[in-house]
Amino acid sequence: MSWWRDAVVYQVYPRSFQDSDGDGVGDLAGIERRLEHIAALGAGALWLSPVYPSPLADFGYDVSDHTAVDPVYGTLGDFDRLVASAHDRDLRLLMDLVPCHTSIEHPWFSEHPDRYVWADGRGDGPPNNWLATFGGPAWTRDERSGRWYLHSFYPEQPDLDWRNPAVVAAMQDVVRFWRARGVDGFRIDAIDRLVKDERLRDDPPAGAPFGLPLPAEYARLEHLYSTNSPEIRQALAALREAAGDALLVGEVYVPSAATGPYLEHLDAVFAFELFHAPWEEVPLRAAIEACAKASKGGAAWVLSNHDFARLPNRVGAENVRAAAVLLLTLPGLAFVYQGEEIGQVDGPVTERVYDRAGRDPFRHPVQWGPEPERAGFTTGTPWLAPVDAGERSVASQSGDPASLLELYRALIALRPALGPGLTMLDAAPGVVAYARGDHLVAVNTTAEAAGLPWAAETVLESEPGPVSAGSLGPHAAVVLRRD
């Protein structure tokens, strides 16, 4: 069986994980220093959000050199040491592969413009009506040539042309470069944008709701021709060829029913329907069923990442313990975003804005200790301040059996004992319930106690004492074992 089948992958957002040199920005040596935390959690791997050189228009997702490390994070030597230290602890390491676009400052943009998607304008305007995710048209006019280049995200992120064999070969080389350095897999960014309609047809106005949250302006159109092209398959086949048996997890931001073709070459895709489901029985159950069915075992369950509000802000602080039970008892890969395991909340919106799309609040540093200004993250001035280290930190929760951190550890330790498969069960209204072999999981999404129809031994509770006389407490979850 592959190492990753039921693994927990811990997402490290390097700028905010651990600083080792006092410049207020996290780095590779800092990550190495904190590997023990990831290992002690029970994770099988860590995923590094981009550490490549980047002008930071999109905080690392605008890559200007795919085979180097940005000096702010360290050197390739630091990277090699991190990989070796991770492997010494039985941790695998995943890189973030960003194949859809580069930074506009990548040398390819000036030296090999043919590697990007260009078109002539329509009259004075852009070639078609496609929109960029973060706002405005998906095309920007190049003053020198008068032609327009495509960018699915910020204008500083021109889209690569995957119909050009030189792009395919170059990106395969990138994959091989990191594989040769010992990397065990890749989380692949924005993969549904990899290839677009060759005829550049206009996207139609949105009809039925998309099924996942989208920025308001972007949601006006149905992205029929600008995303999710059937030709993406060939591009993925090329990435798979270069990656060998490395784990490939796709960030495919489409409803689960459309993820099948991606899974011909990827091992797993993020289950975004569950990520975004309101914390209520019916939508949660529907999302679990839809993602499990579509992915046939290739669901990567995830409830938070660096792009969206943190879990307590989305589902309510009262539900995070039950959410942990849900996330970590579903079959397959599970992803935990740094800080999630101690219940970190969104930071305030401050005057100094780094991300123009408003995602700074989700990216504040990990709170290692209770000191409010630096929280053990840095000895300098942190690029984003800790939010509430006095209230929650790794140090204050570690060893406290009532803490969220210890609940994450216990749940991850329990995973190997859970049986195969997933059978959804009917329980009381408001309760999401399923069987994993002999184990039963029940998650109460409501503020009322709920009856449980099974008499079974309690294996794990989201907080001490939620099950008494066959009843599950408000916002509580439980794992039971049938006799």
Within 13 A of 203's CA, how many CA atoms are on the CB side?
A: 22
d(CA 274, CA 288) in angstroms, rounded, equals 6
Q: Which residue is nearest to ligand NOJ (CB)?
A: 61
Q: Which is closer to ligand NOJ, CB of 188 or CB of 479?
A: 188
Strands (E), 237-355: 247-250, 268-270, 299-302, 333-337
Q: Which is closer to ligand NOJ, CB of 50 or CB of 312?
A: 50
Q: Which residues of 345-366 are buried (b: 16+ CB within 10 A; e: fewer)?
A: bbbeeeeeeebeeebbbbbbbb
Q: Does residue 202 belong to the site contacting ligand NOJ (CB under 6 A)?
A: no
* Residues between 219 and 278 with contacts to ligand NOJ, criterion CB under 6 A: 251
H helix or E strand, kind and range, residue 172:
helix 165-180
Annotated catalytic residue, options 62, 159, 251, 461: 251
Q: Which is closer to ligand NOJ, CB of 47 or CB of 434?
A: 47
Q: Which is closer to ligand NOJ, CB of 47 or CB of 178?
A: 47
- Check if 222 is active-site: no
Residue 365 DSSP one-character state: P
The least CB distance from residue 469 to ligand NOJ, in Å, is 45
Q: Does residue 153 belong to the site contacting ligand NOJ (CB under 6 A)?
A: yes
The least CB distance from residue 456 to ligand NOJ, in Å, is 40
The least CB distance from residue 162 to ligand NOJ, in Å, is 15
Q: Does residue 6 belong to the site contacting ligand NOJ (CB under 6 A)?
A: no
Judge contact between 369 and 395, C-beta under 8 A: yes
The β-bridge partners of 479 are 441, 460
Judge contact between 440 and 460, C-beta under 8 A: no
- Check if 189 is active-site: yes
Find, among 79, 265, 88, the residue nearest to 177 by Cα: 79
The least CB distance from residue 184 to ligand NOJ, in Å, is 20
Binder of ligand NOJ out of 27, 58, 156, 267 (CB under 6 A): 58
Find, among 171, 246, 161, the residue nearest to 200 by Cα: 161
For 132, phi then psi, to 5°, come to -85, 145
Binder of ligand NOJ out of 61, 116, 262, 308 (CB under 6 A): 61
Find, among 381, 392, 377, the residue nearest to 26 by Cα: 377
Q: Which is closer to ligand NOJ, CB of 190 or CB of 315?
A: 190
Q: Which residues of 2-33 are buried (b: 16+ CB within 10 A; e: fewer)?
A: eebebbbbbbbbbbbbbbbeeebbbbbbbbbb
Annotated catalytic residue, options 189, 267, 341, 461: 189
Query: If binding means CB under 6 A, how many residues of this protein chain bind ligand NOJ?
Result: 9
Q: Does residue 190 belong to the site contacting ligand NOJ (CB under 6 A)?
A: yes
The least CB distance from residue 349 to ligand NOJ, in Å, is 18
Over the window 87 to 106, marking each residue x when it contacts ligand NOJ by CB under 6 A and - when it does not, the resulting string is -----------x--------
| Catalytic (active-site) positions | 189, 251
Which parts of this chain interact with ligand NOJ (CB under 6 A)?
58, 61, 98, 153, 189-190, 251, 306-307
